[in-house]
């Protein structure tokens, strides 16, 4: 699942990645995180290292759609 958005002259690229890690380090269930890349419009060079978003407790989301929305919301974090 992925999306690309134009915001104030920047391209926000959001992708959902499967994350199998848990606190114990064992893969007991699947989760999802949002990977967000910020690029200057018209360029392929990233301005910052990719950002990784989990839920408010720092854990992976249980659904892909929730991870995608977390990545989308970073685009509107300034109000």
Instruction: Give the model confidence (pLDDT) of 34-62 as tens digits.
Output: 999 999 888 888 888 998 888 888 788 88
**Would the pTM of this model clear 0.95, i.e. be above it?**
no
Q: Domain limits of the chain?
A: 2-76
When pLDDT is averaged across residues 1-11 and rounded to a whole number, the result is 85
E-strand ranges in the chain read: 2-7, 10-19, 31-40, 51-53
When pLDDT is averaged across residues 7-30 and rounded to a whole number, the result is 75
């Amino acid at each position: 699942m992925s999306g690309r958005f134009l915001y104030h002259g920047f391209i926000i690229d959001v992708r959902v990645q499967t994350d199998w890690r848990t606190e114990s380090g064992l893969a007991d269930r699947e989760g999802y995180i949002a990977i967000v890349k910020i690029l200057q419009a018209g360029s392929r060079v990233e301005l910052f290292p990719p950002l990784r978003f989990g839920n408010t407790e720092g854990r992976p989301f249980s659904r892909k759609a929730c991870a995608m929305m977390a990545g989308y919301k970073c685009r509107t974090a300034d109000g």
